[in-house]
Chain A
């Protein structure tokens, strides 16, 4: 199921709480999170808005720090992993620099970290064809569709061959057809690179199609409700046809039930906290 290469886990989260100080008081975003992502494993975080799934991803990326508990990436504290460039990241917005061409955007992390010019050019050419944007290398982001921009962002995230990819609803703004195509491409890219992925999403079919395990979260405060293991073909072998097979629907149902099981209770709890 999951390939246990390298020995250390890609991500290891233990006893994490996150409290935001706001003007109207404290907001508990995450509570008692324990989660381990093995090397090469694809894990999706799914849950309703406000369940803290993006916050959890930002903690792994060291863009925010936990209030209590520890987050480690490949055995290092999250901060060291960020400074060592151990992960690549793609956000919901592509976040391309509009004054740089496709190539220059993909090259950005490489040039910031002083990779030699020849090496940079070779890697960029490789990535541009990996995400199928060969004809658009010298275009500017405003000349690309949303899906193409997102592919550039993914290529940029892959530029330094990270063993861990963090993706925060990268396909959230795309139409359903583009979205499915991007998912298939992501499956292919992950198989080629062998990277572990933490993938934040709203979409149950997307989570099921992509993941080894789906982490179902509940809101206020954000906590892990259930972790559903996908009993499907290995992620590398998943193809379009899977979307129409009954085991795919079984897994969708499983995730769906995990998402909905706690909701009456959660509603009561929600009333109490207000």
Chain B
């Protein structure tokens, strides 16, 4: 009842791969038709073909913009993740640190990027990427910290008893039980943080500082009515975000493999 037709596994994999591609092509085709035949204005919605044109024409600029924003996001991701893990380790080892950190983290979690970006840009000067990297790092710090701290507290009672039975030293308990238990949680935090890093690095560019990144060029292109080009930069941003997400997802899968 209501059960889909059963397929053999091979066909199912193929179908699962092809299905979203078909949807994508249909949407793109419909979009192109709506613009060329339906006469939608270019500034409302440029045709896919003209966006692709721009992608090709401005390829070097697309690449360098992606690299600038990507570098900011990557630095933010790394710094934010390391900070999140280190602070979580302290918070897990001392209740007092946890109590001190909790309100700060809550405050960090609710800071809007748009509020912080102009301030940091002014603080660190108009030609520095530092403000953007700092914003990305902050955005990453919160989920990594929260997830790591949670993970550090997941060690099973039976594993803790076992370590007590073996009279294991604190460092041994950390290496044998606590850290391996926390690892999948850390990677989940990093995966969540990875998308936030790209979004934050990109949005921060709207509020001054050096041009050349994706966010800056999207707003410049849109301001000069180069809508297809603005959309082309948007596509690069999506690709960048996806790349971050997929790499960290892969890392997470690797880390979780043996922990069912």
Residues of A within 8 A of B (CB): 61-63, 82-83, 85, 89, 91, 93, 95, 97-99, 108-109, 112-113, 140, 142
Question: B161 contacts which chain A residues (CB < 8 A)?
Answer: 63, 91, 95
A61-B165, A113-B166, A140-B258 given. 5 additional CB < 8 A pairs?
Answer: A62-B164, A63-B165, A95-B162, A99-B180, A99-B258
Q: Which of B156, B159, B161, B180 has the largest number of chain A CB atoms within 10 A?
A: B161
**A82 touching B172, Cβ below 8 Å:** no
**B166 touching A85, Cβ below 8 Å:** yes
Question: A99 contacts which chain B residues (CB < 8 A)?
Answer: 180, 258-259
* Subset of 29 A-B contacts with CB under 8 Å: A62-B164, A63-B161, A82-B164, A83-B167, A85-B166, A85-B167, A89-B165, A91-B158, A91-B161, A91-B162, A93-B158, A95-B156, A95-B161, A95-B162, A97-B159, A97-B176, A97-B177, A97-B180, A98-B259, A99-B259, A109-B166, A112-B166, A112-B168, A112-B172, A112-B176, A113-B166, A140-B258, A142-B258, A142-B260
**B158 touching A95, Cβ below 8 Å:** yes
B225 to chain A, nearest CB (A): 56
Q: A82-B165, A89-B165 are in contact. Are A108 and B176 (CB under 8 A)?
A: yes
Residues of B within 8 A of A (CB): 156, 158-159, 161-162, 164-168, 172, 176-177, 180, 258-260
* CB-based nearest B residue for A83: B167
CB-based A-B contact count at 8 angstroms: 43
Question: A61 contacts which chain B residues (CB < 8 A)?
Answer: 165
**A82 touching B167, Cβ below 8 Å:** yes
- The CA-CA distance from A95 to B166 in the complex, in Å, is 14
B258 to chain A, nearest CB (A): 5
A120 to chain B, nearest CB (A): 14
- The CA-CA distance from A93 to B159 in the complex, in Å, is 10
- The CA-CA distance from A97 to B258 in the complex, in Å, is 10
Which 10 residue pairs spanning A and B have beta carbons closest together?
Answer: A95-B158, A83-B167, A99-B258, A142-B260, A93-B158, A99-B180, A112-B166, A89-B165, A98-B259, A109-B166
Q: A91-B158, A97-B176, A108-B176 are in contact. Are A63 and B164 (CB under 8 A)?
A: yes
